[in-house]
């Protein structure tokens, strides 16, 4: 349908909204805007509602401000009597800026003007650890609220008699301040205030006030603490303590009673307490030293702990990897393996203990032998023997080994019986005996071209005494080139020393001259020690046979000979004669 087809209504016939209604709506809107703009409150709504019980309303009325740390966070909405008591319940409305408020919050009524007037409610919201209050929650009890003391209450407490006494005290105090001191009173006073009234003396205190106030300032500065909010934390802690004491009166009574008993116990042991207090300063000094040492030890310990963290992190993996090894070790130490071996070796432990005990007895003796070898034997072997034209200039121990080398070279010949040494026989005018054979026990002889000049070293006819109680290492090494090494006479007989268990058991060779009978003594029989037996085994002159020979010199003076006759002549055996050059002994062929 075209626009022109719509029926048009004349303007004069048109009807709209009622002007009265429109005007009323505009007026209502203006009123609401004005109300909300000034009251800043939406009807049928409210903020956080907080209730508290005070001992007295104390001129608190509706719309009195509520402050937290000096900042307005709400207002008082109602004040009424609390449950038929003389206390007052104050209902407040707190804005969001004053939330949260905790269960241990405290409220105080304070005046905004000195000497009273315009009271407000000062709220401490409590500690964060306490539970938070809900909207319109149960009122805060009277133990957490306080009211200021009014001047009329102070004056009311002073009755007529008390007021008269107060006036008397003030008048007496004024007279005392203005009284001139007498000479008797000045005699006991400080010279700086002598002759001054009490008021004048008090005025002079201001001369010392600066230094005193400086000390007070230092004390106050110390009370502030070393960290921010230390003083506030101290006050909060004291508040909690006092609140706890207020909530637990019976426990407080018991605490006071027990404290009285504790103080009485301390009083009864006052002497010990004094001694403890005297020892406290050195104890604290020692503790400070220990704490300093701990402080120095903490950085390395912390570094060690940090370095140990990777190892600790690897500990679980290490333990997992150790399980197979532990399983193998369990099998290894089982009774069938090492466990059985240990049981089998257990008897040996006692024997090893005996061996160790015997070793403790053996080692001192071994030490004596070692010291003897070190201090006596080895220094003696290092001596170079002066032997006239036969001097080699070598240490005597080297000559000993060289002689063995020479004998080894001479004994390179061998037959079916083994190696042997061949010596060329010779002749001479003097017959000598070189001792018994180590094989047969028969004596050996030799012919020297000339009569022996003597023996080196000289022999005194008896062996030196053997002293078993004298340690070897304390003996003086023998002087191999001294008087004892001189050439001795040839006509001496060497026997065995009865006091020396290591002495040879066969007589040494006897050198004879023509016309002189010589007798070889029978070997002395002795009970040998183990060391003596070992020495006999190493002695080239030892023999298992015991012989006794009688010798009768025969022949001319130019060529003396010695005839040997066996002691077994009763059997018809007869000895034979042998001759040899000196130094070329031959074996006795006597059957």
pLDDT score at 75: 93
Residue 348: inside a domain: no
pLDDT score at 550: 35
pLDDT tens-place string over residues 373-424: 999 999 988 999 888 778 888 898 898 888 888 888 877 777 888 877 776 6
User: How many residues make up the chain in this entry?
Assistant: 591
pLDDT score at 555: 37
Residue 513: inside a domain: yes
- Three-state secondary-structure class, residue 527: coil
- Three-state secondary-structure class, residue 158: coil
What confidence tier does 346 reach under pLDDT thresholds 50, 70, 90?
Answer: confident
**Count of C-beta atoms within a 10 Å radius of residue 67:** 16
pLDDT score at 7: 62
Residues 6+ apart with CB under 8 A from 478: 380, 484
* pLDDT at residue 511 is higher than 70: no
Report the Cα 241 to chain-centroid distance in Å: 43
Asked if residue 360 has a cis previous peptide bond (ω within 30° of 0), the answer is no
* pLDDT at residue 102 is higher than 90: yes
pLDDT tens-place string over residues 259-283: 888 888 888 888 888 888 888 888 8
- The residue that leads in pLDDT, 161 or 461, is 161
The full 3-state SS of 424-435, as one line of letters, equals: CCCCCCEEEEEE
* pLDDT at residue 200 is higher than 60: yes
**Nearest to residue 125, comparing CAs of 47, 180, 71, 82?**
71
- The residue that leads in pLDDT, 298 or 205, is 298
Q: 430: burial class by Cβ within 10 Å (0-12, 13-18, 19+)?
A: buried
State which of 88-97, 174-183, 470-479, 514-523 shows the largest mean pLDDT: 88-97
Residue 410: inside a domain: no
pLDDT tens-place string over residues 107-137: 999 887 765 567 899 999 999 889 999 998 9
Domain boundary among 127, 154, 181: 154
Q: For the chain, what is the domain count?
A: 2
Range of 457's domain? 424-571
* pLDDT at residue 37 is higher than 70: no
pLDDT score at 588: 39
The angle subtended at Cα 447 by Cα 442 and Cα 451, nearest 5°, is 125
**Nearest to residue 533, comparing CAs of 524, 542, 521, 520?**
542
* pLDDT at residue 220 is higher than 70: yes
Residue 304: inside a domain: no
What confidence tier does 152 reach under pLDDT thresholds 50, 70, 90?
Answer: low
pLDDT score at 370: 92
Say if CB 55 and CB 147 are below 8 A apart. yes
pLDDT score at 116: 53
pLDDT score at 392: 85
pLDDT tens-place string over residues 234-243: 888 888 888 7
pLDDT score at 415: 80
- The residue that leads in pLDDT, 321 or 535, is 321
**Count of C-beta atoms within a 10 Å radius of residue 432:** 22
pLDDT, mean over the chain: 75
* pLDDT at residue 495 is higher than 50: no
The fraction of the chain above a pLDDT of 90, given in percent, is 12
> What number is the average pLDDT over the span 229-238?
81
Domain boundary among 154, 173, 195: 154
Residue 243: inside a domain: no
φ, ψ dihedrals at 337, nearest 5°? -115, -115
What confidence tier does 565 reach under pLDDT thresholds 50, 70, 90?
Answer: very low
* pLDDT at residue 513 is higher than 70: no
pLDDT score at 141: 92
Domain boundary among 154, 181, 211: 154
* pLDDT at residue 532 is higher than 70: no
pLDDT score at 338: 80
* pLDDT at residue 178 is higher than 60: yes
pLDDT score at 180: 84
The angle subtended at Cα 547 by Cα 542 and Cα 549, nearest 5°, is 120
pLDDT tens-place string over residues 468-494: 888 888 888 888 888 777 777 765 443
* pLDDT at residue 545 is higher than 60: no
pLDDT score at 41: 56
* pLDDT at residue 65 is higher than 80: yes
Residue 450: inside a domain: yes
Residue with token string 């310990």: 301
Residue 301: inside a domain: no
> What number is the average pLDDT over the span 157-182?
80
Token digits of residue 43: 């009807």
Token digits of residue 405: 């080398």
pLDDT score at 256: 85
- The residue that leads in pLDDT, 528 or 417, is 417
What confidence tier does 336 reach under pLDDT thresholds 50, 70, 90?
Answer: confident
- The residue that leads in pLDDT, 48 or 340, is 48
Residue 413: inside a domain: no
């Amino acid at each position: 349908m075209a626009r022109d087809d719509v029926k048009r209504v004349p303007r004069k016939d048109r009807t709209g909204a009622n002007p009265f209604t429109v005007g009323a709506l505009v007026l209502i809107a203006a009123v609401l805007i004005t109300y909300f703009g000034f009251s800043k409150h939406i009807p049928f709504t409210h903020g956080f509602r907080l209730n508290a019980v005070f001992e007295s309303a104390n001129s608190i009325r509706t719309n009195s401000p509520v402050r937290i740390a000096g900042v307005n966070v709400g207002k008082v909405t109602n004040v009424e009597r609390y449950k038929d008591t003389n206390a007052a319940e104050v209902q407040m409305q707190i804005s969001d800026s004053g939330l949260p408020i905790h269960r241990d919050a405290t409220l105080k009524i304070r005046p905004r003007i000195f000497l009273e007037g315009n009271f407000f409610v000062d709220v401490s919201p409590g500690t964060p650890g306490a539970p938070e209050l809900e909207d319109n929650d149960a009122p805060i009890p009277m133990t957490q609220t306080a009211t200021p003391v009014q001047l009329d209450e102070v004056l009311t407490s002073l009755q007529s008699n008390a007021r008269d006494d107060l006036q008397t005290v003030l008048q007496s105090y004024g007279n005392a301040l203005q009284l001139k001191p007498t000479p008797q009173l000045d005699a006991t006073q400080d010279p700086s205030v002598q002759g001054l009234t009490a008021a004048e003396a008090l005025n002079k205190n201001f001369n010392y006030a600066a230094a005193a106030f400086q000390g007070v300032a230092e004390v106050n500065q110390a009370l502030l603490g070393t960290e921010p909010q230390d003083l506030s934390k101290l006050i909060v802690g004291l508040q909690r303590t006092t609140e706890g004491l207020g909530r637990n009166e019976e426990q407080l009574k018991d605490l006071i009673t027990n404290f009285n008993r504790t103080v009485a116990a301390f009083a009864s042991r006052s002497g010990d307490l004094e001694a403890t207090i005297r020892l406290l300063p050195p104890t604290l000094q020692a503790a400070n030293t220990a704490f300093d040492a701990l402080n120095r030890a903490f950085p390395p310990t912390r570094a060690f702990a940090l370095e140990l963290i990777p190892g600790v992190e690897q500990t679980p993996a290490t333990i997992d990897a150790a399980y197979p090894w532990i399983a193998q070790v369990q099998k290894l130490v089982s009774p069938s393996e090492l466990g059985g071996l240990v049981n089998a070796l257990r008897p040996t432990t006692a024997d090893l203990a005996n061996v160790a005990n015997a070793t403790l007895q053996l080692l001192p003796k071994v030490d004596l032998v070692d010291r003897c070898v070190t201090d006596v034997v080895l220094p003696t072997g290092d001596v170079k023997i002066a032997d006239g034209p036969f001097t080699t200039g070598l240490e005597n121990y080297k000559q000993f080994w060289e002689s063995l080398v020479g004998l080894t070279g001479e004994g390179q010949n061998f037959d079916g019986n083994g190696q042997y040494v061949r010596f060329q026989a010779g002749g001479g005018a003097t017959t000598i005996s070189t001792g018994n054979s180590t094989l047969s026990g028969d004596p050996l002889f030799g012919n020297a071209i000339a009569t022996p000049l003597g023996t080196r070293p000289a022999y005194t006819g008896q062996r030196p005494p053997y002293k078993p109680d004298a340690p070897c290492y304390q003996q003086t090494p023998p002087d191999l080139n001294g008087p004892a090494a001189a050439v001795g006479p040839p006509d001496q007989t060497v026997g065995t020393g009865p006091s020396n268990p290591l002495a040879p058991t066969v007589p040494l060779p006897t050198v004879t001259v023509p016309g002189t009978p010589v007798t070889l003594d029978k070997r002395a029989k002795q009970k040998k020690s183990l060391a003596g037996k070992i020495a006999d085994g190493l002695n080239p002159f030892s023999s298992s046979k015991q012989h006794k020979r009688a010798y009768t010199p025969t022949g001319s003076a130019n060529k003396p000979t010695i005839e040997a006759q066996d002691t077994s002549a009763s059997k018809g055996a007869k000895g034979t004669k042998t001759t040899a050059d000196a130094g070329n002994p031959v074996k006795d062929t006597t059957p």
